[in-house]
Amino acid sequence: MHTVTANGASIPALGFGTFRMPGAEVLKIVPHALKVGFRHVDTAQIYGNEAEVGDAIATSGVARGDIFLTTKVWVENYKHDAFHASVDESLKKLKTDYVDLLLLHWPNEAVSLAEQIGALNAVKEAGKVRHIGVSNFNTHLMAESVKLSKAPIVTNQIEYHPYLNQDIVIAAARKAGIAVTGYYGMADGKVFTDPVLKDIAARHGKSVAQIVLRWLVQQDDVIALSKTVGKARAAENFAIFDFALSADDMAAIHGLAKANGRIVSPDGLAPVWDEAA
């Protein structure tokens, strides 16, 4: 495992995500993920599983201080008072007095960005969160967040996989010292039948999932979220630090990007996305 340093935060480059993971699955797989070596766990208020994530960490045998824990405030909680109450509720569910990273989950024009960023800073100043960031922000919103924030923004968590070119967002983030955390790395399963990825995997003696995760973390300032409910797959997904992709491999995977590669763009939440160069 290696870490990504971003504006003062040291973040494990490979995280374990819990999106669309029912509580019972969280209780089964998160302790196992921690056992095989994961030290970065990602959840969110809207996932409805913070309590189970908290239970899983508490019973895992891994010290809380050794785990980088991320959660996200849902868009309906962005007004100042609701924001603070929601963070207190998240901490209670997660059975901890702080989270390592707190993100704004999606943009929400109904509440000023200044109020959102102000609330993030306030809970950080109160010691409830170690670091703050954003999720699903375009370059304009990311830049505005940096201007408005007293504390450094450490990551922008965005959809990122071989079929979606995110060079513009990554370049802007890097210039500001911000890491990019990529979710949906497996492109909703599309990567598993891709002949280019299957060929690279065969040549390295690795799975397609391992190749994609390695492609993500081998990029500077990029963090990858891995998600699975299978114990064998969790161990496999963690085993990506004993090999490297060649420059040709990296280029071939980047070359899979398509103009219509974006998968996640919900109406009423998604901003105007940056167009790929």
- Cα–Cα dist 38/35, whole Å: 7
Question: What does pLDDT average to over the chain?
Answer: 97
The band of 277, judged by pLDDT with boundaries at 50, 70 and 90, is low
Q: Are 66 and 41 contacting, i.e. CB atoms less than 8 angstroms apart? A: no
**Does the annotation flag 40 for ligand binding?**
no
The band of 47, judged by pLDDT with boundaries at 50, 70 and 90, is very high
pLDDT one-digit tens code per residue, 86-135: 999 999 999 999 999 999 999 999 999 999 999 999 999 999 999 999 99
**With 80 as the cut, is the pLDDT of residue 1 above it?**
no
pLDDT one-digit tens code per residue, 53-100: 999 999 999 999 999 999 999 999 999 999 999 999 999 999 999 999
Strands 40-42 and 179-183: unpaired
Known catalytic residues? 47
CA distance from start to end of the chain: 31
Per-residue b or e along 128-149, where b marks 16 or more CB atoms closer than 10 Å to that residue's CB: bbbbbbbbbbbbebbbbbbebb
Q: Does domain 3-185+219-228 have CATH number 3.20.20.100?
A: yes
The structural domains of the chain, with segments of one domain joined by +, span: 3-185+219-228
Place of tokens 């797959």: 233
Place of tokens 């763009």: 265
**With 90 as the cut, is the pLDDT of residue 198 above it?**
yes
**With 80 as the cut, is the pLDDT of residue 276 above it?**
no
Q: Give the predicted TM-score (pTM) of the model.
A: 0.97
The band of 17, judged by pLDDT with boundaries at 50, 70 and 90, is very high
156's tokens? 């922008």
Per-residue b or e along 23-38, where b marks 16 or more CB atoms closer than 10 Å to that residue's CB: beebbebbbbbbeebb
pLDDT one-digit tens code per residue, 234-270: 999 999 999 999 999 999 999 999 999 999 999 999 9
